[in-house]
A and B are shown apart, each in its own frame.
Chain A
């Protein structure tokens, strides 16, 4: 794996660790984490910070008899024994059951995805990740040489490059790189190289495109 040069902002990783991000952003971040040991370390640090915060929470008494009903649910010794017998090799619980990486969201391999053209050289595939808070997750495929219209975002956008490459005002983005743009960022990505650039994008609001005259246009209606 090549070195990744663009990472999520520290704040984004801290939001992820706190469980604050919507499902769409969570998929993008966790897919990046699968590729990036540096960011995994940062998330683990923020989880430890979460643990420190947990210890400071004002305790709220459990319902009466909670301990007894706990042991009832836990069952007798055999529950413990059974779990031990089937326990995975895992050494800890630093998983993200709520944020499985991309694979879990694809109904078919990435090469067999049905793409919907949205503009010359650009097509998209919307994934269903709207279960938790407001967020839209989709794949965007940009043919080499194609420039997306300049656009801003009404809210934050996370873009993870899966294949190919693009360059914009910030720099060059290649597989594993993540562009973490806030609501004020404006950019004009252009795909380059030999293959289509495929990106995984989470937005919490529709993209706002500006045409050459600076007027607002919305060619990607129906996201």
Chain B
């Protein structure tokens, strides 16, 4: 997928972008719906996400991040902005959400691609029970208490599974002491 994005960036390759769109747009839409957006809004926001991907593709550096990570952050930010717009119908020109986007911190992007790959591998090898709650944590907007109820688990169990999973994944990257 990152390779497609590189082709889009290099030559505005529409065929490559169409492949990227076919893969990601329905997943972004699915994510937004799981996060509570009605289907129409999710469709709009998925379009907007892909529009950002198209327009900013030349800023994407496959050395620095995986395509899915980048697209996740774009969709997440659009989701939060939409929720805030809904809460503040009158837009204030000084609204912080209308401020120009900050440049990323240089140190953030060092060797990201490799880290992203290792994080995905660590995620894939989590025990099923932890894998499940991590996915619900990132994809849904429901409070952890609601997720616990749905899974028929005590809230403490959901929280400790998340904590275990997060710690394990970061430990595998060598950031935390064993």
Closest-CB distance, B171 to chain A (whole angstroms): 11
Which B60-78 residues have a C-beta within 8 angstroms of A?
A: 60-61, 64-77
The yes or no answer to A110 lying at the interface (CB within 8 A) is no
A130: B residues at CB distance < 8 A: 87
Cα distance, A73 to B97, chains bound together (Å): 23
The yes or no answer to A56 lying at the interface (CB within 8 A) is yes
Task: Say whether, besides A10-B166, A62-B29, A66-B47, A92 and B70 are in contact (CB < 8 Å).
Answer: yes
Cα distance, A93 to B78, chains bound together (Å): 12
Interface of B toward A, CB cutoff 8 Å: 12, 14, 18, 21-22, 24-31, 33-35, 39, 42-43, 46-47, 50-52, 54-56, 58-61, 64-77, 79-81, 83-84, 87-88, 94-97, 99, 101-109, 112, 115-116, 119-120, 123-124, 134-135, 137-139, 141, 159, 162-163, 166-167, 169-170, 173, 175
A19: B residues at CB distance < 8 A: 35, 76-77, 79-80, 141
The residue in chain A whose Cβ has the minimal distance to the Cβ of B107 is A37
Cα distance, A94 to B65, chains bound together (Å): 10
**A41-49, A169-177, A206-214 - the one binding chain B:** A41-49
Question: Is A51's CB under 8 angstroms from B72's CB?
Answer: yes
**A77-85, A111-119, A160-168, A185-193 - the one binding chain B:** A77-85
Known: A57-B30, A67-B18. 14 other contacts (CB 8 A): A19-B79, A48-B69, A49-B123, A54-B27, A56-B135, A60-B39, A62-B25, A62-B47, A70-B25, A74-B51, A97-B81, A98-B77, A99-B80, A132-B80
Pick from B59, B73, B95: contact of A50, CB below 8 A: B73
Pick from B25, B29, B66, B124: contact of A48, CB below 8 A: B66
Pick from B94, B103, B173: contact of A45, CB below 8 A: B173
Cα distance, A71 to B116, chains bound together (Å): 30
Pick from B51, B64, B68: contact of A70, CB below 8 A: B51
**Could you count the A-B residue pairs with CB atoms below 8 Å apart for me: how many are there?**
230
Cα distance, A37 to B30, chains bound together (Å): 32
Question: Is B33's CB under 8 angstroms from A60's CB?
Answer: yes
A87: B residues at CB distance < 8 A: 56, 58-59
Question: Is A47's CB under 8 angstroms from B99's CB?
Answer: no
A-B contact pairs, 6 of them (CB 8 A): A17-B138, A53-B72, A54-B72, A54-B138, A91-B64, A92-B60
Question: Is A51's CB under 8 angstroms from B167's CB?
Answer: no
The residue in chain B whose Cβ has the minimal distance to the Cβ of A58 is B30
Size of the A side of the interface (Cβ < 8 Å), in residues, is: 66
The yes or no answer to A220 lying at the interface (CB within 8 A) is no
Cα distance, A45 to B109, chains bound together (Å): 11
The yes or no answer to A194 lying at the interface (CB within 8 A) is no
A48: B residues at CB distance < 8 A: 65-66, 69, 112, 115-116, 119-120
Pick from A55, A59, A89: contact of B68, CB below 8 A: A55
Closest-CB distance, B48 to chain A (whole angstroms): 9
Cα distance, A17 to B76, chains bound together (Å): 9
Task: Say whether, besides A18-B76, A53-B134, A60-B26, A92 and B101 are in contact (CB < 8 Å).
Answer: no
Task: Say whether, besides A57-B30, A80-B55, A90-B59, A51 and B69 are in contact (CB < 8 Å).
Answer: yes
A49: B residues at CB distance < 8 A: 119, 123, 134, 138, 169
A184: B residues at CB distance < 8 A: none
Cα distance, A107 to B169, chains bound together (Å): 40
Pick from A18, A40, A51, A95: contact of B137, CB below 8 A: A18
The residue in chain A whose Cβ has the minimal distance to the Cβ of B101 is A95
